[in-house]
Amino acid sequence: MQRYTMFFAMALLVTALPAAAAPGPEAAPVRVDEPLSEGTMSDQAGDQFTLFLQRVYSLPEGARQAVADSFYQAAGNLPLIVADSAVYYLYRGGATSVALAGDANGWDPSRHSFNRVSGTNLWFLRQTYEPDARLDYKFVLNNSSWILDSRNPLLCYGGYGPNSELRMPEYPPAAECMTDTSVSGGTLEKGSFVSAILGNSRFLRVYLPADYDPEREDGYPLVLFHDGLEFLALGDVKTVLDNLIGWKRIEPMIGVFVPPVSAGQRIEEYSGATAVHFERFIIEELMPHIDATYNTSRDPSKRAMMGPSLAALISAQICFHHPEVFGLSGLYSPAMWPTERAVLMQLLASARPFQKCYIDAGSYEPSLIGDAETLFSHLLDNGVEARFRLWHEGHSWGSWRAHVDEALEFFFPLSTGIERIGEVGTPAFQLHPAYPNPFNAGVTLEFSLPQPARVALEIFNVRGELVEQLLQGGLQAGRYRHLWMAAGRPSGLYIYRLRVGADVHTGRVLLLR
């Protein structure tokens, strides 16, 4: 995938094509929902790909294929991204129809059909997305054959295999999902567990941090991951844990990875008739075994349960019924559809089911957002420390894997984060100079609030990409400081930004390794 400029493609066309009138600055842009045809191309304009089409349609049909082939070869990795938000999907080959299926249309290929450039075998579809969106997709040929985009090297793996992945220009890659050879990796113990309650056996994986100490005072925090094997294989969670612990962004912890007994039984265990027995298996059998075998903290404020989709549903249910065991709940794209509403209704009837709850969803899974927002509002109204993040993504492991760190850092921060250090002595909002600057490990950021306000403190790189959100929420008047630990970040210049209502204050710090 790349941004497209005129130079590489139009250089091939200028000498080969007859002159064509350049589009005027006020010409109508290409519409996403209106097919482009030879008859209407003359008055369409807006971007370089449209200009390419205008040039092609100025030729006799017999001359178009060679030009289309040259353009397609010169385009490099696909899709083409124009002006940060417009995307051109391209397919070249023999087909009677080409359609797009993916996160953006609920995987319904009937909603987005490609147009063929007449006289060629080049097909295209124009769409617009948010500049920071990340979406899975496939092409559907002849209403039956689902294929990857062969010119897109980016893949996202899910439960049904790989999909092509669209990353818009402002999408921030998840550095914590990439191996850092400078950190010490934890160990992953493999085994199985037999349940008398369920009458079955399943695989089990347990993550122990580097330098695990079986005699450590008070034990280690613990996270139980439902859909556990997928969290490891598709979510790269071992790498995430290694990095976040090694970069000193979270406490060293134990991870317990529990899969459903089989793919066929997943729905039954997480939301069906077996769910009540699965809950007993976790609380009455598995956790006593884990606590007896490993040096775990028994404090529910140090014990989390996480899962995506239906696994989020069972996580919410177990934490709701047993807050004395699990005080922290991480819900990724919680699938609380009408058939599972009973669990949601139970949660909404409880005044304080969790100590902390992290809820994560994608704007391209609209059927989930309403219930997620309802649960989030209810938790806030009842004094639960809750966080809700909405991303321009879909129902995908590509989204969940990149945001595991959000919940882990919310639940198990290594430091206290924001700290109030005194009264404010200024009548205006103020962002104080960061220190030390330059720095090689951590830098202290300070600011003053003359009155209560909602505050966001964020770190960006020099390309304007969000690196880390340090704070988002309401604060009372006072002077505050926050220590940003930049472990795992590359050397370079970073911009820290404080947003207080409509006011924005920025500063720069230099990280030197």
CATH assignment of the domain containing 385: 3.40.50.1820
Higher pLDDT, 311 or 335: 311
Q: Under DSSP, is residue 50 helix (H, G, I), strand (E, B) or coil? A: helix
- Residue 209 neighbours by CB under 8 Å, 6+ apart: 186, 220, 241, 245, 252, 253, 254
Q: Mind listing the pLDDT tens digit for each residue in 130-165?
A: 999 999 999 999 999 999 999 999 999 998 899 999
Q: Which pLDDT does position 107 carry in this prediction?
A: 97
Q: Mind listing the pLDDT tens digit for each residue in 171-205?
A: 888 888 989 888 899 999 999 999 999 999 999 99
Question: What mean pLDDT value characterizes the chain?
Answer: 86
102/216 same-domain check = no
Contact 443, 434 (CB under 8 A): yes
| pTM recorded for the entire structure | 0.76
Q: Which pLDDT does position 125 carry in this prediction?
A: 97
Q: Which pLDDT does position 351 carry in this prediction?
A: 64
Q: How many CB atoms neighbour CB 131 within 10 A?
A: 13
Instruction: Report the alpha-carbon distance of residue 436 to residue 429 in Å, rounded.
Output: 22
Q: Which pLDDT does position 49 carry in this prediction?
A: 86
341/242 same-domain check = yes
70/94 same-domain check = yes
396/445 same-domain check = no
162/185 same-domain check = no
Closest to 417 in 3D by CA, of 409, 426, 405: 409
Which of 128, 145, 167 lies at the terminal end of a domain, its last residue?
167
Q: What are 143's two structure tokens?
A: 């209403």
Q: Which pLDDT does position 352 carry in this prediction?
A: 65
Contact 235, 397 (CB under 8 A): yes
160: left (phi over 0), alpha (psi -120 to 50) or beta: alpha
Instruction: Report the alpha-carbon distance of residue 208 to residue 472 in Å, rounded.
Output: 31
Which CATH number goes with the domain that contains 470?
Answer: 2.60.40.1930
The full DSSP string for 129-158 is: --TT-EEEEEEEETTTEEE--TT---EEEE
DSSP summary character for residue 353: -
Q: Which pLDDT does position 92 carry in this prediction?
A: 97
- Give the residue-averaged pLDDT of 230-238: 97
209/282 same-domain check = yes
Closest to 307 in 3D by CA, of 275, 330, 337, 341: 330
160, 333, 473, 167: CA torsion to nearest 10: 30
381/480 same-domain check = no
- Give the residue-averaged pLDDT of 361-390: 89
Share of the chain above pLDDT 90, in %: 61
13, 17, 21, 27: CA torsion to nearest 10: -40
- Residue 4 neighbours by CB under 8 Å, 6+ apart: 48, 49, 75, 80, 81, 82, 88
Closest to 207 in 3D by CA, of 192, 226, 185, 227: 185
pLDDT of residue 44 exceeding 90, the answer is no
Among the residue ranges 59-73, 90-104, 107-121, 336-350, the one predicted with the least confidence is 336-350
- Cβ-count burial 73-111 (b if 16+ within 10 Å, e if not): eebeebbbbbeeebbbbbbbeebeebbbbbbbbebebee
Q: Which pLDDT does position 341 carry in this prediction?
A: 61
Q: What are 137's two structure tokens?
A: 């997709």
269/286 same-domain check = yes
189/305 same-domain check = yes
Task: Examine residue 153 and say whether the peptide bond preceding it is cis (omega within 30 degrees of 0).
Answer: no
Among the residue ranges 14-18, 390-394, 489-493, the one predicted with the least confidence is 14-18
Q: Which pLDDT does position 231 carry in this prediction?
A: 98
292/159 same-domain check = no
Q: Under DSSP, is residue 92 helix (H, G, I), strand (E, B) or coil? A: strand
Which of 167, 194, 216 lies at the terminal end of a domain, its last residue?
167
402/439 same-domain check = no
Residue found by looking up tokens 């200009």 in the block = 51
Cα four-point dihedral sign 270, 273, 279, 281: negative
Residue found by looking up tokens 């999909």 in the block = 163
Q: Tell me phi and psi for residue 221, to 5 degrees.
A: -55, 160
Q: Which pLDDT does position 354 carry in this prediction?
A: 76
Q: 82 lies in which domain range?
A: 2-167
Higher pLDDT, 345 or 289: 289
Contact 336, 294 (CB under 8 A): no
Q: Which pLDDT does position 13 carry in this prediction?
A: 36
- Which secondary structure element, helix H or strand E, spans residue 454, and what is its range? strand 453-461
Domains in the chain: how many in total? 3
Which amino acid, 51?
Answer: L
pLDDT of residue 218 exceeding 60, the answer is yes
Q: Mind listing the pLDDT tens digit for each residue in 378-431?
A: 888 878 889 999 999 999 999 999 999 999 989 998 754 677 887 776 677 889
The C-alpha angle 442, 501, 506, rounded to 5 degrees, equals 35
DSSP summary character for residue 433: P
pLDDT of residue 31 exceeding 50, the answer is no
435/456 same-domain check = yes
3-state SS string over 232-291?
Answer: HHCCCHHHHHHHHHHCCCECCCEEEEECCCCHHHHHHHHHCCCHHHHHHHHHHHHHHHHH
Which of 131, 149, 167 lies at the terminal end of a domain, its last residue?
167
Q: Which pLDDT does position 51 carry in this prediction?
A: 85
Instruction: Report the alpha-carbon distance of residue 245 to residue 184 in Å, rounded.
Output: 9
